[in-house]
Every structure is written in C-alpha cells, then in structure tokens.
Structure 1
Amino acid sequence: MKTIEIEHITKDYGQHRGVFDLSFDVRKGEVLGFLGPNGAGKTTTIRQLLGFIKPDQGKVNILGKDCFEQADEIKKSLGYLPGEIAFIDSMSGMEFIRFVAKMKKMKDLGRAQELMEQFELNANGKLKKMSKGMKQKIGIVCAFMQDPDILILDEPTSGLDPLMQNRFVELILSEKRRGKTILMSSHIFEEVERTCDRAVIIRGGELVAVDTMESLCSGKQKRMEITFADTAMAAGYVSGFAKAVQDEQDGRRVTMKVGRDIDEAVKKAGAFTVVDLNVHTQSLEDFFLHFYGGDQS
C-alpha cells in the first residue's frame, strides 16, 4: 500500500530551480531515504507534501488525500521536522514544546518526556541561547511526540554530535519496527544505510534513481589488495584477471577494483599462495557521487 504518492510533479522557479516531472512513492511501514546535493529539490518536494506550496503540474497525495487541498486533515497523522526550524526565541525549550503540543491538541506529554530522556535534553533554557544541536533535539521531540503514523524529516540530524546521531538511528529503527512510514532527507550516508529500505536520488530537481538499499549497497565497488608469496605468483594472477594491477613498488602485491565479481577474484587467488588480503569497501557517499556527477569514472 502506498502511503505517500508523488506523481509527475513540477514546480519551476526558473533557471532550472525547482523539481521537474518527479515521481516516486513511499509504502506503508517503509523508511525511504531522499537523497541529493544542496539545491537538488528535496526541500521543495517536502514543502509540497506539507501543503505549503502547490505543484505547477502533477499530484501529491498522502493517504489518498491531496496534500494542498486537504493539508489540515493530513497533518493530524503527520510528524514533520523541517530543515530550518522556526523557533520563538523568547520562549524556553520546554515552553516551545508545550506550545507545539497545544497546537497539536495534545494533552499528554509523556512521549515528549521519553524523547527528552533518550536525547539527554534539558529543555528549560531559553531557545535564543541554545546551540544548533540543542535546538535540533527540540525539533525531534516536537516531530515525534504525538506518535504519528507518518513522519517527514528534512536533514533530521543536522547539528547533532555522533552519539546523538546514533540515538536518532535507534529511534528510527524503533519506529520502523512499530510500522511507521518515514520519508527522510539526509546527507549522512551511514544513517541512510542503517535505517532505509529504499532510496530516491535526485539531482537538479530530476529523478536519477530509485532502488532498494540492498541493491545500492551490493553495487558499491570494493578495492581488493592481495599480497602473494612471490612476484611470479602475482604476475600469474594478473595474467588471468584483467582488472588486476601488479604493484610497481612491491611486485608481490596486486590491487584491483571489484564489485559483484568479488567471488571470482577470491577464487582465482586460491590457485596461488596468499600471504595477505585486504578489502576496502567504497562508502555509500562515494557511490552516490556517481549519481551527483562528482565522479565520472
């Protein structure tokens, strides 16, 4: 079942800014990573899902309801964390959380208290004196405290330290187990790799790829480095494996890039005496540079 549906939307701001004929969906109970460089159109897409702007063309639906025409109804079951949170600086963090809870017609702040403990947040200080990380924690509390069925998160760990980023990953995995539907824009690729079922990649406002994380990760290249007992063995291996290159400094060492053919590379090495083997896996970030145009190899 599709919870979020984006069908051929275009929002053109001129000079190729915006999104163009963009289509993808988020299925019930799925965590979908929404990836692209700054200016790719991620926030423009999310603003249309929230009903803040209307597409020039195409349709945006959540739970079968039009995101612009029925925005108020949709927001009852939606948690949202914006990329730039609009705080009221004269308030304390706790006053702001209560303010948001009142707008959401919440009477119980039990879930908010749980989240504050999870993220080690003391929300009593004034917002204007808080760090970016502290403010981000308050944004997370406000997005999740109503226990919504659907979450739309725009760069949710911006400003968080590595420990809190890990706590956030734990939160997403917990919500995923509970069947929540989550669309998450992120630049932190380990975060995406650990939490998402699929990823949508956009560039210049246009769709580049949609695939499962399993498929994307299996396509990542690996650099294999094998050291043989002597140079003759290394040369013998290279002669039978076109991708392999014998090291000029140490003739016993061979390096090569492998992807899905790693099994073949290892088995062929078994015909010789191997004294050392290292495999360096390409990061998902490097892999995505191919889609972003940063790596033309």
Structure 2
Amino acid sequence: MSLLKINNLSKEFGKFTALDGVNFEVKSGEVFGFIGPNGAGKSTTIRVLLGILKPTNGEVKIFGKDAWDDAVEIHKRVAYVPGDVNLWPNLTGGEVIDLFVKLRGSNNKSRREELIKKFDLDPTKKCRTYSKGNRQKVALIAAFSSDADLYILDEPTSGLDPLMEQVFQDCVMDVKKQGKSVLLSSHILSEVEKLCDRVGIIRQGKIIETGSLNELRHLTRTQMLVQTKQPITKLHELNGIHEIIEKDQALSFQVDSNEMEHVLRHISQFGIVKLESAPPALEDLFMRHYEGTEKSTDTGAGGVN
C-alpha cells in the first residue's frame, strides 16, 4: 500500500522548470531514499509534498489526500525535519520540542526524555546559543517524539557528528519497525545505503532511476582483487572489465555485474590463490549517472534545490 504517491509532478518558476514529470511512491512501512546533488529538485519536491508550493502539473497524494488541498489534514500525521533548522531564539530547546510535540497532539514524555539523552542535548539552553548541529537535534527529537505515520527528512543529519548520525539511524530503524514510512532526502550515500529499502535518483528535475538497491546495482561495477599461480592473460579483451591495475603480484580491476560469471570462469584457469570482491556501492551507481554531465547549478529561483 502506498502512503505517498507522486504522479507526473511538474513545477515551474517562470521559464525555469524545477521538476519535470516526477513519479515515485513511498509504501507503508518502508524507508525511501531520495538522492541527487544540490539543485536537482529534492527540496522543491518536498516543498510540494508539504503543501508549501503548488504543483504546476501532476498529482501528489499523501494518505490518499491531495498534498495542496488537504495540507492541514495531512500535516497531522506527518513529521518533517529540514536540513537547515531555524528556531525561536528566546525559547529553550526543551520548550521548542514541547511546542512541536503538543501541536501534533501527542504527549509521550518518556520518549522525549529518552531522545534528549540519546542525542546528548541540553534542553535548558536558549536556542540562540545552539550550534547548527544542536538545532538539528532539536528538530529530530521533536519529530521522533511525535506519533507520525510519515517522516519527511530533508538532509536531516546536516551538522551532526558521526556519533549522532548513528543515533539518527537507530531512530529511523525504530520507526520503521513500528510500520511507519520515511522519505529520506540525502546526498550522504552511505546513510542512504544503510537505511533505505528503495531509492529514487533525481537529476535536473527528472527521476532517472527508481528501485531497490539490488535492482539498481546492475548499473554498477564490482571491485575485484585477484592473485593467481600463473599470470592472467587476455583479461583486457573480456567484456565488462575496467581499470586494470597491478598491485603487489595481484590484479585489481572492476567488473560489470552482468559479466561476472564469464570473468570468473576465465581467471579460474590460471589457478586462483586469492580472490577479494567488494560489492558495488551506491556511490558508484550515483557517480555513473552523473558521468559526462554538467554539475547542476543554483538557479536562484526561490532557492530551488
């Protein structure tokens, strides 16, 4: 069952097209990774989901309701964390957390206290004294303290140190276990790889790939390190072989996944002494999609992102 469904979404700012026919869905109980470089359209899409921007064309449904017409009803069941959190400077962190939690109608004080401890936040300090990382912590604690059905997280770990990133990841897995859904927009590929069931890659306002990590890895290459009794010949003549490098009496190279069986059959003739393979990373997939393309630049159209 789809909690969130985007169908042929377009958004224009004057002559600039920020989103061009975007399609994807987030199913109940899954973590969906929404990845792309700055300027690709991630934040613009999220602003449409939140009812902040009205679509130029297309349909956006959350819980079966229209994201623009039914925004107030939808917000009762959604928790949102932006990548750059602004807080009321004269309120304490604890007061801001309480305000957000009460606005959502939940009052789980034990969960609030548990998260404050996990994120190592001093809730008695005024928000104007907080660093960027501490402001992120306030927003994350408020979001995960509430009983939402969909968590929309736009670069949520911006400013967090690695220890706090791990706490964040634990929180995402906790809500997933409860059957909640998460839309995670990020350019930290290791984070997406750890957490997400499926990913969608956006480039220049268009979704170019959607699927599970296993489904998308057909586009990536596996890194191999091989040592054999006899020198391997004619390796460079095989299909799907890339970047052959000699390393300490061994060969390092990359193999296209669909040619793996053929390559292994060839090298086994030479008496394998050592064989190491590293599974293709999401980063490889991501970079291959951007090979040979110009980097997206900020257009200045309302801070389109």
Same fold? TM cut 0.5? yes
Secondary structure of 1:55's match? coil
2:232 aligned counterpart, secondary structure: helix
Counterpart residue number, 1:257: 254
Gap runs ≥5 in structure 2 = 295-305
Deviations 1:100-150 (A, max 9, x none): 223223344222112112222222212111111111111101112112111
- Cα drift, residue 57 of structure 1: 1.1
Q: Report 1 or 2 for greater relative contact order, CA contacts < 8 Å, sequence distance ≥ 6.
A: 2
Residues 27-75 of structure 1 deviation map (CA, whole Å, 9 limit, x = unaligned) = 1111110111101111111111111111111111111111111111111
**Aligned residue number for residue 210 of structure 2:** 210
Say whether 1:141 aligns with 2:141: yes
How big is each residue's C-alpha offset from its partner over 1:161-183, in whole Å with a ceiling of 9 and x where there is no partner? 11111121121112112111111
**Partner residue, 1:7:** 7
Whether the 8 Å contact between 1:97 and 1:138 is mirrored in structure 2 is yes
Cα distance in 2 between the residues matched to 1:218 and 1:71: 38
Does 2:87 correspond to 1:90?
no
- Aligned 8 A contact 2:81 2:152 in 1: yes
C-alpha distance in 2 between matches for 1:104 and 1:171: 19
Q: How many residues align?
A: 292
Spell out the pairing of 1:158-177 with structure 2 (5 A cutoff): 158-177=158-177
Percent of aligned pairs sharing the same letter: 36
For the 8 Å contact 2:245–2:253, the answer to whether it is kept is no
SS at match of 1:185: strand
1:213-269 Cα distance to aligned partner (Å, 9 max, x none): 222245431232323334xx323x63874537876797x543432132334333432
2:221 — aligned with what? 221
In the alignment, structure 1 residue 291 sits paired with structure 2 residue 289: yes
- 1:223·1:256 contact (CA, 8 Å) conserved in 2? yes
Task: Give the secondary structure class of the aligned counterpart of 1:179.
Answer: coil
Per the alignment, residue 65 of structure 2 pairs with: 65
Q: Which residue matches 2:302?
A: none
Q: Which amino acid aligns with 2:290?
A: Y
Q: Whole-Å Cα distance in 2 between the matches of residues 191 and 49 of structure 1?
A: 22
Query: What's the TM-score once normalised by structure 1's chain length?
Result: 0.89
Q: Are residues 117 and 245 of structure 1, via their aligned partners in 2, closer, same or farther at CA, if it must alter by over 3 Å? A: closer
Give the counterpart of 1:238 among 235, 239, 249.
Answer: 235
Q: Decide whether aligned partners of structure 1 residues 119 and 24 sit closer, same or farther in structure 2, where only a CA change above 3 A counts.
A: same
For residue 154 of structure 1, report the CA deviation from its aligned partner. 0.4
Aligned to 1:274: 272
Alignment-derived partner of residue 47 in structure 1: 47
The whole-number CA distance in structure 1 between the counterparts of 2:4 and 2:112 is 26
Amino acid in structure 2 at the alignment position of 1:254: L
Letter in 2 for 1:292: Y
Task: Give yes or no for contact 1:36–1:292 (8 Å, CA) kept in 2.
Answer: no
RMSD: 2.4
Q: 2-side partners of 1:110 and 1:249: how far apart?
A: 55
Tell me whether 263-272 or 203-212 shows the greater mean CA deviation.
263-272
Query: Matched residue of 2:211: which SS?
Result: strand
Post-superposition offset of 1:99: 2.0
Change (3 A) 1:244 1:55: closer
Q: Distance in 1 between matches of 2:172 and 2:18?
A: 29
Q: Does 1:113 align with 2:93?
A: no
Contact 1:9 1:22 in 2 (8 A): yes
SS of the residue corresponding to residue 47 of structure 2 reads helix
Give TM-score scaled by structure 2 length. 0.87
User: Equivalents in 2 of 1:239, 1:107: separation in Å?
Assistant: 64
Residue type at the aligned position of 2:198? R
